[in-house]
Chains A and B, each alone.
Chain A
Amino acid sequence: MDVRSQIAMVFHLDKCIGCHTCSIACKNIWTDRKGAEYMWWNNVETKPGTGYPSKWEDQEIYKGGWEKKNGKVTLKGAGKRRGLINIFYNPNLPVIDDYYEPFTYKYLDLIESPAGDDQPTARPVSLITGKPIDIKMGPNWDDDLSGTPDFARNDPNLKNISPEEQEVMFQLEKMAMFYLPRICNHCLNPACVASCPSGAIYKRGEDGVVLINQEVCRAWRMCVTACPYKKSYYNWYTGKSEKCILCYPRIEAGLAPACMHSCVGRIRYLGVLLYDADKIESAVHGDDKYLIKNQLDLILDPFDPKVIRAAKMNGVADSTIHAAQFSPVYKFVKEWGLALPLHPEFRTLPMLFYVPPLLPVMAAVKKVDNKEQQGKMDPIAKKWDDHWLYDTSTAELWGTLDQIRFPLKYIASLFSAGDEEIIKYTWKKLMAVRIHRRRITVGDVSNEKADATLKDAGLTAGLADAIYTLTSLPKFEERFVIPAAHREQAIEMLDFTGDTKGETGFGIKGKVKRGI
Chain B
Amino acid sequence: MDTLNDFFLIALPYIALAVFLVGSIYRYTYKGFQFSSLSSQFLEGRKLFYGSVPFHWGVLFIFTGHLVAFLIPRGILAWNSQPLRLMILEISAFIFGISMLIGLINLFIRRYTTPRLKFVTNKMDFVIYMLLILQTITGLWIAYNFRWGSSWFSTLLVPYLHSIFKLQPDISAVSLLPWTVKLHIVGAFTIIGIIPFSRLVHFLVPPFNYMWRPYQQVRWNWGRRKVRSPRTPWSLQRPKNT
Of all chain A residues, which has the CB nearest B50? A89
Please report which residues of chain B, range 47-79, place their CB below 8 angstroms from some CB of chain A when the two chains form the complex. 48-49, 52-53, 55-57
B43: which of A214, A220, A236 is its contact (CB, 8 Å)?
A: A236
A88 in contact with B202 (CB, 8 Å) = no
B224: which of A95, A129, A314 is its contact (CB, 8 Å)?
A: A314
A131 in contact with B115 (CB, 8 Å) = yes
Q: Mark interface residues in A303-334 (1 if CB within 8 Å of B CB, else 0).
A: 00000000011111000000000000000000
Please report which residues of chain B, range 123-165, place their CB below 8 angstroms from some CB of chain A when the two chains form the complex. none
A93 in contact with B41 (CB, 8 Å) = yes
Q: Mark interface residues in A202-230 (1 if CB within 8 Å of B CB, else 0).
A: 11111000000011111111001000000
Of all chain A residues, which has the CB nearest B217? A202
Q: Which residues of A contact B119 (CB under 8 A)?
A: 128-130
Please report which residues of chain B, range 183-242, place their CB below 8 angstroms from some CB of chain A when the two chains form the complex. 202, 205, 207, 209-211, 213, 215-228, 234-236, 238-240
A193 at the interface (CB under 8 A from B): yes
B45 at the interface (CB under 8 A from A): yes
B218 in contact with A128 (CB, 8 Å) = no
Please report which residues of chain A, range 80-106, place their CB below 8 angstroms from some CB of chain B when the two chains form the complex. 80, 83-84, 87-91, 93, 95-96
Of all chain B residues, which has the CB nearest A86? B53
CA distance A221 to B39 in the complex (A): 8
- The stretch of A145-153, A455-463, A493-501 that contacts the partner chain: A493-501
B213 in contact with A199 (CB, 8 Å) = yes
Given contacts A89-B53, A314-B225, A493-B239, are A197 and B37 in contact (CB under 8 A)?
A: no
Q: Which residues of B contact A314 (CB under 8 A)?
A: 224-225
B83 at the interface (CB under 8 A from A): no
Q: Which residues of B contact A89 (CB under 8 A)?
A: 41, 48-49, 52-53
Given contacts A80-B211, A489-B222, are A218 and B37 in contact (CB under 8 A)?
A: yes
A239 in contact with B57 (CB, 8 Å) = no
CA distance A212 to B39 in the complex (A): 17
Given contacts A219-B36, A489-B227, are A129 and B210 in contact (CB under 8 A)?
A: no
A446 at the interface (CB under 8 A from B): no
Q: Mark interface residues in A56-91 (1 if CB within 8 Å of B CB, else 0).
A: 000000000000000000000000100110011111
B33 in contact with A214 (CB, 8 Å) = yes
Of all chain B residues, which has the CB nearest A203? B218
Q: Which residues of A contact B216 (CB under 8 A)?
A: 189-190, 193-194, 203
B217 in contact with A128 (CB, 8 Å) = no
Chain B contributes a number of interface residues (CB within 8 A of A) equal to 52
Interface of A is mostly: loop
A198 at the interface (CB under 8 A from B): yes
CA distance A236 to B118 in the complex (A): 12
B18 at the interface (CB under 8 A from A): no
Given contacts A198-B210, A205-B218, are A239 and B53 in contact (CB under 8 A)?
A: no
Of all chain B residues, which has the CB nearest A101? B116
A219 in contact with B217 (CB, 8 Å) = no
Q: Which residues of B contact A221 (CB under 8 A)?
A: 39, 41-42
Chain A contributes a number of interface residues (CB within 8 A of B) equal to 57
Taking the closest CB of chain A, its distance from the CB of B29, in whole angstroms, is: 10
A84 in contact with B48 (CB, 8 Å) = no
B170 at the interface (CB under 8 A from A): no
Q: Which residues of A contact B228 (CB under 8 A)?
A: 312, 315
B227 in contact with A218 (CB, 8 Å) = no
Given contacts A95-B43, A315-B225, are A193 and B33 in contact (CB under 8 A)?
A: no
CA distance A237 to B43 in the complex (A): 10
A87 in contact with B42 (CB, 8 Å) = no
B217 in contact with A84 (CB, 8 Å) = no
A239: which of B37, B211, B222 is its contact (CB, 8 Å)?
A: B37
Q: Which residues of A contact B235 (CB under 8 A)?
A: 496
B116: which of A87, A129, A201, A490 is its contact (CB, 8 Å)?
A: A129
Of all chain B residues, which has the CB nearest A318? B228
Of all chain A residues, which has the CB nearest B225? A315
Q: Mark interface residues in B18-48 (1 if CB within 8 Å of A CB, else 0).
A: 0000000000000011011111111111001
Q: Which residues of A contact B52 (CB under 8 A)?
A: 88-89
Taking the closest CB of chain A, its distance from the CB of B91, in whole angstroms, is: 23
Q: 23 interchain pairs (CB within 8 A)?
A: A80-B210, A93-B42, A95-B41, A95-B45, A129-B118, A130-B119, A194-B215, A205-B221, A215-B33, A216-B32, A217-B36, A218-B36, A218-B202, A219-B36, A220-B207, A234-B39, A236-B120, A238-B33, A238-B36, A239-B36, A314-B225, A315-B228, A496-B235
Residues of B within 8 A of A (CB): 32-33, 35-45, 48-49, 52-53, 55-57, 115-116, 118-120, 202, 205, 207, 209-211, 213, 215-228, 234-236, 238-240
6 additional contacts (CB under 8 A) given A84-B211, A492-B238 = A89-B52, A131-B115, A201-B217, A205-B224, A234-B42, A490-B222
Instruction: Pick the 9 closest A-B CB pairs, nearest first.
Output: A315-B224, A197-B207, A215-B32, A493-B238, A205-B220, A239-B36, A194-B215, A239-B38, A88-B56
Residues of A within 8 A of B (CB): 80, 83-84, 87-91, 93, 95-96, 128-131, 189-190, 193-194, 196-199, 201-206, 214-221, 224, 234, 236-240, 312-316, 489-490, 492-496, 499
